[in-house]
């Protein structure tokens, strides 16, 4: 099985650098903010979050990619957590999310992020169009506004 096919089966679609930069810029992340990158992969979003001055927690399930992230961002304000997103314990302090998580965990991830225990301030997520429409129709918590942002072309992914 090819690496690309294997990634796609797990719902992992790595972003190109240009699109990662645009997503972070449009998120409005400011210097000093604590941001969680869920399914950080090789660090496309993480790199631009660091460049914006964010303190980043990069969460990655795959051991090899987690090692790569630790090495790549060893000199930066980045902590890497090797963890399953569905079992991950959210930070106890307020946090933002800017991420392109694996598509197969979208619904469970959104439910988890929006629990009363979560200290989530805001989330900018790259999701499949169907998931966006599904969740926008039934906003799970009245304190949140869900909106669809830009549509990414296929060329936004490796």
Which residues sit in the known binding site for S-adenosyl-L-methionine? 15, 39, 60, 84, 100
91-118 burial, b if ≥16 CB within 10 A, otherwise e? eeeebbbbbbbbbebbeebbebbbeeeb
Taking the CB of residue 2, how many other CB atoms lie within 10 A of it? 7
Tokens of 24: 């972070």
Spatial separation of the C-alpha atoms in residues 59 and 46, rounded to whole Å: 10
Q: Binding-site residues, please?
A: 15, 39, 60, 84, 100
Spatial separation of the C-alpha atoms in residues 23 and 26, rounded to whole Å: 5
Spatial separation of the C-alpha atoms in residues 4 and 128, rounded to whole Å: 18
């Amino acid at each position: 099985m090819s690496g690309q096919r294997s990634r796609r089966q797990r719902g992992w679609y790595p972003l190109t650098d240009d699109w990662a930069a645009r997503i972070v810029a449009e998120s409005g992340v400011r210097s000093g903010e604590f941001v969680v990158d869920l399914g950080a992969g090789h660090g496309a979003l993480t790199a631009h979050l660091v460049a914006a001055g964010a303190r980043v927690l990069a969460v990655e399930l795959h051991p090899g990619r987690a090692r790569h992230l630790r090495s790549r961002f060893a000199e930066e304000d980045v902590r890497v957590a090797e963890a399953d997103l569905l079992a991950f314990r959210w930070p106890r302090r307020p946090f933002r999310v800017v991420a392109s998580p694996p598509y197969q965990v979208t619904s469970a991830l959104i439910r988890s992020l929006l629990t009363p225990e979560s200290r989530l301030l805001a989330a900018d997520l790259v999701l499949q169009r169907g998931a966006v429409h599904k969740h926008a129709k039934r906003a799970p918590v009245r304190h949140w506004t869900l909106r669809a942002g830009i549509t990414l072309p296929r060329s936004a992914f490796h």
